[in-house]
Amino acid sequence: MASSVHRPVWVVTGASSGIGQAIALEAARFATVVAVGRSAARLQPVVRAGCRALELDVTASSEQLAQAVAGIAEREGTIDVLVNAAGYLLEGAAEETSDHELQQLFDTIALGPLRLARSVLPLMRRARAGVIANVAGIGALRGSPNAGPYCAAKAALSTLTEAMHDELAPLGVRVCLVQLGHFRTNFLQPGHRRKVQAHISDYDAVLDPIRAAFDGLNGAQQGDPLKGAQAIVKVLAGPEVPPLLAVGPDVPAAELRAHDQRRAQILAWQHIGGGTDLQG
């Protein structure tokens, strides 16, 4: 009698390009991958590799996302792994950023992943198994001029992921924050690197050098997205999934820089801010 081997079911957002696409392609080697993107046409490269395309905007309502997840579970029988990799860079000063631009950014990077997780978690909790991975990046470590709202959205995703890890570990669901370094994807190219509509010239002296640095970094990143995806998929498919996975040799240095800067600021003003306990 022929034995059937269960192929785990992965759902990967942001699968039409960048690290999300690379993760979908790598996971498709052994898993059933539902590749999620806003455009079915742009998902064709992963479809040709065996993935199943789902045209879905992660900024959709909770009800729409829940309906999409229910459809996947009905077709595939389960969902074993959810990888939230959708995102884009919004450039501009915080003051220049409109409410609409801010809402769209947070819906894509932080709230969309949370809504999707809420939709898959009833399945995973019942099974006492499953993996949720949220892809953040160096931008989550410290706010950067010209990318403050983007960094804030990634920081929100990071802290949400940390809390979810501790909440879900006793239930058998593993949650991982993937801290991504600089990889040579199309992240800094038009379509992923968006500029705010408003312009305040007072900020040009501060922001212009950073914009130029982004231009210089585009296409010059040292990270290989294929190797990065291989590392991510290997860990998420393995027996031990850590709460934090740093991907890229530049991540530890960035972590230490952010830590040292914050520590120096705390110590410099501790003589004022530290003496605030009740006396008794």
Q: Is residue 65 part of a domain?
A: yes
The amino acid present at 136, given as its one-letter code, is: A
Q: What is the pLDDT of residues 57-83, one digit of tens each?
A: 999 999 999 999 999 999 999 999 999
Q: What is the pLDDT of residues 184-197, one digit of tens each?
A: 877 777 767 899 99
Answer yes or no: 150 catalytic: yes
Q: Where are the alpha helices (DSSP H) in 99-203?
A: 99-106, 112-127, 148-168
Q: Is residue 279 part of a domain?
A: no
Alpha carbon distances (Å) from 200 to 197, 206, 207: 10, 11, 11
Q: What is the pLDDT of residues 75-126, one digit of tens each?
A: 999 999 999 999 999 999 999 999 999 999 999 999 999 999 999 999 999 9
- Coil, strand or helix at 101: helix
Please, what's the b/e burial string for 54-65 (b: 16 or more CB within 10 A of its CB; e: otherwise)? Answer: bebbbbbeeeeb
Q: Is residue 201 part of a domain?
A: yes
Host domain of residue 182: 9-273
CATH code at 98? 3.40.50.720
Alpha carbon distances (Å) from 173 to 162, 167, 241: 13, 9, 10
DSSP 136: E
Angle at 142 between CA 201 and CA 22, to 5 degrees: 100
Q: Is residue 263 part of a domain?
A: yes
Q: Is residue 26 part of a domain?
A: yes
Q: Is the pLDDT of residue 1 over 50?
A: no
**Cα-Cα-Cα-Cα dihedral sign, residues 136, 137, 143, 147:** negative
Q: Count structural domains, the chain.
A: 1
**Cα-Cα-Cα-Cα dihedral sign, residues 108, 111, 117, 118:** negative
Q: Is residue 51 part of a domain?
A: yes
The mean predicted confidence, pLDDT, of the chain is 94
Q: Is residue 278 part of a domain?
A: no
Which position among 87, 105, 113, 150 bears the catalytic label?
A: 150
Q: Is the pLDDT of residue 269 over 50?
A: yes
Q: Is residue 70 part of a domain?
A: yes
- The crossing angle, in degrees rounded to 10, of helices 62-76 and 112-127 is 40
Beta-carbon contacts of 181 under 8 Å, excluding residues fewer than 6 positions away, are: 137, 138, 223, 246, 247, 248, 249, 250, 251, 254
